[in-house]
Chains A and B, each alone.
Chain A
Amino acid sequence: MKRFSWDEMMNRYPAFFAIILLVVALTINFILQPNMFARDTLNSNMRVFLPIILLSVGQAIVILGGGIDISVGGIVSIVNTILATQVGLNGSPEKMWTFVFVSIGAGILAGAINGFFIAFLRLQPIITTYATSFLYVGFALFILPNPGGGIPAEIANVYRNTTPLGLPLAFYVIGVVLLVWMYIRSTRYGNYLYAVGGNAEAAYETAVPVTWVLFSTYVASGFMSALAGIAITMLSGSGNAEIGVPMTLTSITAVVIGGTALSGGVGGVAGPVVGAITLGIIQNIISFSRIDTWWETFVKASIIVVALAAPGIINLLRRKKV
């Protein structure tokens, strides 16, 4: 029997596939845009990627626990509209800080609502978060019916143009997120997360607090969505209740590319971060090579379909052999 299987490979190095894809995408992008590693280009790319990266980290935690969160985009929209309407184009930095904390609270609350339905009432994650996604986008539209509002340009520029030691701010944020994740991963909670995602029933029989672990993943996702919402608001400087909607599919794709199985319990967070960067670069390539933008959606959707179908196809081939 072959012990070193694909399974084991993906379990040990979940980001393996993502890194290969990243290198390929980087090469193509570099050919199309030779100055891409210049400080300004790098920074302008990374600040665009960061919201999706943060969102993917939250999504990855939910998916690791065996669920999925379709409402992340809705939470991003809520945060964006709160900041754009409450801080305003002439708001002070103090006001910005206040509403950053309000936004984070809103994100956690939205995640807790998802978690309550899914963990305590045992509802289907995909249906629940699909339903709450409308609730959240609807709430964002209630706050800000038409695109407008915003935050002061000085504050937005802090996000856009800060490059400590010549490196984009995004690198530092990613570094902190990964460090925090590595710590969480190596605590007892980290083990619970993988156990619940891998086999919730066995975890329950072994006295893992399954309900609370599930609940916590959605709260974490709500928190990360709020951070993503803050980042994208500082990037755009303006408000739009629909801003988060297309980000949901991207975050799920990033997780899948990153080697985190949609069935839960396998993978990590570093892979999805690499996956999110890769998707951003693919988007760059598409815009540089002047092909229609619908290709971008097509590529993302294809990746998900292939990732979902792969285990089934492998099984089918095995059956044929017998």
Chain B
Amino acid sequence: MSGVSLSARNIVKRYGGVVALSDGNLDVHSGEVVALIGANGSGKSTMSKVINGVVVLDGGQLLLDGKPVRFSSPQAARKMGIATVFQELSLVSKMTVADNIWLTREPLKPNGMVDRKAMREKTEALLDLFSGTFKADLKPDTLVSALHPDEKQIVEILKAVSLNPRILILDEATASLDSRQVERLFELVKRWKEEGKAIVFVSHRMEEIFRIADRYSVLRNGKTVGEGHIKDITEKELIQLMTEKEKVFQFKKASVEEESSGLQQPVYLEIENLTTETLRGIDITVKQGELLGIGGLQGQGQRDLLLALFGDIPYQGTVRIKGEVVKFKHPRQAMKKKLALVPGDRAKEGLLYIRSILENFLLPSWQKYGFPLKMKHARRDALAVSERLSLVMSGLMAPVSSLSGGNAQKVVIGKWLLRDPDCYLLDDPTKGVDVHTKAEFYTLLTELSQQGKSILFYSSDDDELVGLCDRVIVLHDGKICAELKGASLTKENLIAASMGVSNGGEA
């Protein structure tokens, strides 16, 4: 195999008005592993999608072997020898392992029929790469739907490897593998490196980055802020690179003197050993009036935690509200106990998009207005809330779809304000919200916590958590890996804890 090199220069990628990458750079050559590193929202997944052709870049240049290239689709990139192991798997579950790996590249017999025997043998050979790290019943003829997540991930890796690519992108490919499988993958990566493949390794596990990578490239806010050899840098320096110096917002904490008096507040919520499909035993205590931040990389179980508390998904464990054990099986029960959920996907879960603002505001509260509905009363209440939130709208009867993202999110919060809940569960509420509205949210959240409302606030924006919360718990792999408060609550510590670095967490 001849040498290969890929460089991405000054890549720009926008999604609508949001700039995901403003100046992304990456160089990777034959026989080396480059780790692509960055905090939440730094643009590292966008960067890998640019290289493998899933998204089309808005600016900058991709050079393959020194020649400029443009990929219009993943297939185009594949033809040039670039293969990706996707984190979200691209497998057909009702087909067998062999069918999935060789789809579109099936070995054919002269009569046009697929040569199943050859395909099975080629699959066996690929599976041998990981032999001993999975159960014996993972065979070429096993249906993908019968596999465990780690085995599916292995099939996904083999699917990419079967292309015999020159450049292999591993996008969080180790996330669902166990330690033995990671070990084997790293042995293979070393072998591929020697064969002259170039490998881009996207991971959030610091320890793995230091074990496998030769070079690093750090993204921060869509810009490449550091590149170099991994042996010339320490974990601490890497984390500093990932951390921003300048802050966009001036956060007003719920005033410092209250933090100490807050200790005397009665306990509102106690969670013991909460377990779901993704959570592996969570213990939290939340006081009345506390604004508890939930941090960590995306998809570490934050969403499940909020949904479980709201009775939306089944869970094991004990939840006490004001000392009383509750087990919600339906959001209705949670609402009765004065809980409110602002879900992560407001268009799908939070709002009836084509219905009016009025209807959306009153959706959880219609019961209050009797039968037949006291519309005048309802309208007055809705108007009061919209004024409190300074909602920018043409009128209460306008559909929610006519609102901007920030104003739509205000409606989601407003519909709960009408019920005056004791506890708010917020799933990344400022995602895709403009700067001005964000500031208004922060004021609102501070106000609510001063009124004695408890708030569980998950955010993918680390600045928000550090600036706004009294205390932040960091989830990693379904567990609480750190609790930060007071002096230890800094962005550096938060990022370090998210990445699974042990020394960053403790105060």
Residues of A within 8 A of B (CB): 1, 3, 5, 7-8, 11, 183, 186-188, 190-192, 194-195, 198-199, 201-203, 205-208, 265-266, 319, 322
Contact of B74 among A188, A205, A266, A322 (CB under 8 A): A205
**How distant is B331 from chain A, measured CB to nearest CB, in Å?**
14
Asked if residues A11 and B143 are in contact (CB atoms below 8 Å), the reply is yes
Chain B residues near A5 (CB-CB < 8 A): 146
Asked if residues A208 and B103 are in contact (CB atoms below 8 Å), the reply is yes
Asked if residues A198 and B104 are in contact (CB atoms below 8 Å), the reply is no
B75 interface residue per 8 A CB criterion: yes
On whether A194 and B94 interact (CB within 8 A), knowing A7-B143, A322-B314, the answer reads yes
Interface residues of B in 68-103 (CB under 8 A from A): 74-75, 78, 86, 89-95, 99, 103
Asked if residues A207 and B95 are in contact (CB atoms below 8 Å), the reply is no
Asked if residues A198 and B146 are in contact (CB atoms below 8 Å), the reply is no
The CA of A138 and the CA of B145, in the complex, are separated in Å by 44
Residues of B within 8 A of A (CB): 74-75, 78, 86, 89-95, 99, 103-104, 106, 108, 112-114, 116, 137, 143, 145-146, 148, 159, 314
Contact of B90 among A1, A7, A183, A206 (CB under 8 A): A206
On whether A208 and B94 interact (CB within 8 A), knowing A7-B145, A186-B114, the answer reads no
Asked if residues A202 and B78 are in contact (CB atoms below 8 Å), the reply is no
Asked if residues A319 and B314 are in contact (CB atoms below 8 Å), the reply is yes
Q: Could you list some 29 contacts between A and B, CB below 8 A? A: A1-B148, A5-B146, A7-B145, A8-B143, A8-B145, A11-B94, A186-B114, A186-B116, A187-B108, A191-B114, A192-B104, A194-B92, A194-B95, A195-B95, A195-B103, A198-B92, A198-B95, A199-B93, A199-B94, A203-B92, A203-B103, A205-B86, A206-B159, A207-B74, A207-B75, A207-B104, A208-B104, A265-B94, A322-B314
Q: Is the interface of B mostly helix, strand, loop or mixed?
A: loop
The CA of A210 and the CA of B75, in the complex, are separated in Å by 13
On whether A206 and B104 interact (CB within 8 A), knowing A11-B94, A195-B95, the answer reads yes
Which 8 A-B pairs rank lowest in CB-CB distance, beginning with the nearest? A198-B92, A322-B314, A198-B94, A202-B90, A205-B90, A199-B92, A186-B113, A207-B75
Chain A residues near B145 (CB-CB < 8 A): 7-8
**How distant is B150 from chain A, measured CB to nearest CB, in Å?**
13
Chain B residues near A3 (CB-CB < 8 A): 137, 146
Chain B residues near A266 (CB-CB < 8 A): 94
Chain A residues near B78 (CB-CB < 8 A): 207
Chain B residues near A191 (CB-CB < 8 A): 95, 99, 103, 106, 114
> What residue in chain A is nearest B147 (Cβ atoms)?
A3
The CA of A212 and the CA of B75, in the complex, are separated in Å by 16
Contact of A265 among B92, B137, B314 (CB under 8 A): B92
Give the interface centre of B75, B99, B146 by most chain A CB atoms within 10 Å: B146
Asked if residues B146 and A8 are in contact (CB atoms below 8 Å), the reply is yes
The CA of A191 and the CA of B103, in the complex, are separated in Å by 7
Chain A residues near B108 (CB-CB < 8 A): 187-188
**How distant is B106 from chain A, measured CB to nearest CB, in Å?**
5
> What residue in chain B is nearest A209 (Cβ atoms)?
B104
> What residue in chain A is nearest B102 (Cβ atoms)?
A191
